């Protein structure tokens, strides 16, 4: 079971990758091909303490989509051919408001999908509910989890704001990996409900859709990775902090940055907290993402990777083991195998 300590490490539990690999293998996709996509071997995939990156899970999910020609990844009653989401999203992005976009998406999938039944309740709190026509095809509930996650994240992107979840409900009992929901569905989560759903303030239905078809083309190119990262919108304080960290190769403190921006460190900390973030977490996120790229792409000494992140080698090795459960050298070897 995922522990709260695990959640302080960036990344995603290997649980989701294990379920995807198991299902795709049963449907005829070679396991070696799948593991190569996620850049893990079987031993690391089974290791509960290892956390993978959004890029790894995204690469695996993309491969399963294409090999099965099914965006439901074999977990539904019938397939959604590759490109179904893009077709629907092109119409949603032309909507004037979020409510109009959601009403279209519900009609689209209820007319075209043999696997999913969506219901949108607009009176009082807005509730988007999902039922599977064959729930037995999704025994680990991965499809239900991903569909609710995707719809919340895509709606956030459409209006350029993070919509707070008032409640997330699941029809099944609390799973062993339920601690991951603190990252996936921040807010109250209930189990054993009549239907799986997400609930938000109904006022969000009136929010204008601000994205264009050109924006959507770029968004679709980043899928599904985009669904598994913490959403940071371009005009947010968090996005500005990440850009500043990249410019300084992470050699920057909260006090230094707040001084550059002519703010007090307390004010900057407060602004980040309102976005559900912190300077420390953003710096860790930048360092881990950059470290993974350097370890995978290059053959240089670990000390050079540490130096490029403004860290000593011992400090970097300790931090990287906390993030991934492995030393940098072991991680490089495992990923390349």
Domain end among 164, 183, 206: 206
Residue 265 has pLDDT above 50, yes or no: yes
22 and 132 both lie in a single domain: yes
Q: What residues contact 245, with CB distance under 8 A and at least 6 apart? A: 252, 282, 283, 286
Is 24 in the same domain as 112? yes
Regarding whether 160 and 20 lie in a shared domain, the answer is: yes
Say if residue 113 is in the same domain as residue 256.
no
Give 325's pLDDT tier (boundaries 50, 70, 90): low
Structure tokens at 249: 């190769």
According to the model, what pLDDT value does residue 335 have?
63
* In the predicted structure, residue 155 carries a pLDDT above the cut 80: yes
- What's the pTM value of the predicted model, to 2 decimals? 0.73
- 109-123, 129-143, 267-281: least confidently modelled range: 267-281
Give the model's pLDDT for residue 110: 95
> Which residues constitute the domain of residue 157?
4-206
The verdict on residue 45 lying in a domain is yes
Residue 166 has pLDDT above 70, yes or no: yes
One domain, residues 98 and 241? no
Residue 124 lies in a domain: yes
In a domain, 216, yes or no: no
Q: Could you tell me if 36 and 183 lie in one domain?
A: yes
Q: In this predicted model, what pLDDT tens digit does every residue of 76-98 receive, in sequence order?
A: 998 899 999 999 999 999 999 99
Q: Is residue 311 part of a domain?
A: yes
Same domain, 77 and 197: yes
Do 49 and 194 have their domain in common? yes
pLDDT at 6 over 60: no
| 189 and 277 in a common domain | no
- Asked if residues 200 and 165 have their Cβ atoms less than 8 Å apart, the reply is yes
If one compares 102 and 221, the residue with the highest pLDDT of the two is: 102
pLDDT at 101: 97
Inside any domain, residue 68: yes
> Are 164 and 278 within one domain?
no
Instruction: Please report whether residue 106 resides in a domain.
Output: yes
Q: Please count the structural domains in the chain.
A: 2
| Separation of alpha carbons 47 and 334, rounded Å | 12
In a domain, 38, yes or no: yes
On whether residue 291 sits in a domain, the answer given is: yes
Alpha helices in the chain (DSSP H): 4-7, 14-26, 31-38, 42-46, 54-68, 84-92, 98-112, 142-159, 181-184, 213-221, 237-247, 254-260, 265-274, 279-297, 302-308, 313-324, 328-336
Domain closes at, from 156, 186, 206: 206
* Average pLDDT, integer, range 101-124: 94
Give the per-residue pLDDT at 54.
80
Q: Mean per-residue pLDDT for 219-244?
A: 79
Q: What is the pLDDT of residue 329?
A: 87
Whether pLDDT at 235 is above 70:
no
pLDDT at residue 253 in the model: 92
Same domain for 11 and 75, yes or no, is yes
The CATH number linked to 275 is 1.10.10.60
More confident residue, 44 or 179: 179
**What pLDDT score was predicted for residue 330?**
81
Q: In what order do the strands lie in the sheet with 167-169?
A: 116-121, 126-132, 196-200, 167-169, 189-190
Say yes or no to pLDDT of 232 above 70. Answer: no
Q: What is the mean pLDDT of residues 28-35?
A: 92
Pair (56, 162) in one structural domain = yes
What's the Cα-to-Cα distance from 225 to each of 30, 52, 181, 285, rounded to whole Å? 22, 12, 18, 15
pLDDT band at residue 45 using 50, 70 and 90 as cut-offs: confident
Q: What is the pLDDT of residues 271-315, one digit of tens each?
A: 888 777 889 888 888 888 888 878 877 788 999 999 988 899 999
Rounded mean pLDDT, 156-185: 92
């Amino acid at each position: 079971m995922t522990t709260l300590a695990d959640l302080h490490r960036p990344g995603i539990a290997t649980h989701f990758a294990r379920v995807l690999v198991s299902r795709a293998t049963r449907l005829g996709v070679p396991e070696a091909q799948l593991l190569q996509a996620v850049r893990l071997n079987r031993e690391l995939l089974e290791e509960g303490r290892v956390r993978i990156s959004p890029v790894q899970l995204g690469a695996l999910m993309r491969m399963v989509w294409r090999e099965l020609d099914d965006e439901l990844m074999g977990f539904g009653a019938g397939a959604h051919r590759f490109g179904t989401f893009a077709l629907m999203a092109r119409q949603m992005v032309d909507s004037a408001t979020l409510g109009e976009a959601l009403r279209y998406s519900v009609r689209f999938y209820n007319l075209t999908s043999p696997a999913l039944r969506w219901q949108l309740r607009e009176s009082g709190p807005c509730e988007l509910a999902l039922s599977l026509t064959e729930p037995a095809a999704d025994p680990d509930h991965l499809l239900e989890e991903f569909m609710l996650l995707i719809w919340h994240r895509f709606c956030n992107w459409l209006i350029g704001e993070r919509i707070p979840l008032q409640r997330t409900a699941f029809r099944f009992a609390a799973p062993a990996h339920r601690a991951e929901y603190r990252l996936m569905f921040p807010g109250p989560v209930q189990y054993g409900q009549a239907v799986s759903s997400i609930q938000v303030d109904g006022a969000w239905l009136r929010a204008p859709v601000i994205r264009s078809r050109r924006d959507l083309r770029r968004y679709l190119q980043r899928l599904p990775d985009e669904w598994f990262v913490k959403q940071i919108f371009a005009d947010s304080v968090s996005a500005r902090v990440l850009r500043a960290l990249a410019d300084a190769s992470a050699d920057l403190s909260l006090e230094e940055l707040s001084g550059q921006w002519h703010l007090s460190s307390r004010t900057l900390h407060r602004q980040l907290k309102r976005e559900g973030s912190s300077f420390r977490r953003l710096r860790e996120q930048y360092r881990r993402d950059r470290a993974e790229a350097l370890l995978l792409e290059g053959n240089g000494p670990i000390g050079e990777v540490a130096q490029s992140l403004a860290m000593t080698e011992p400090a970097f090795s300790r931090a990287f083991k906390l993030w991934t459960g492995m030393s940098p050298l072991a991680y490089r070897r495992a990923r390349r195998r």
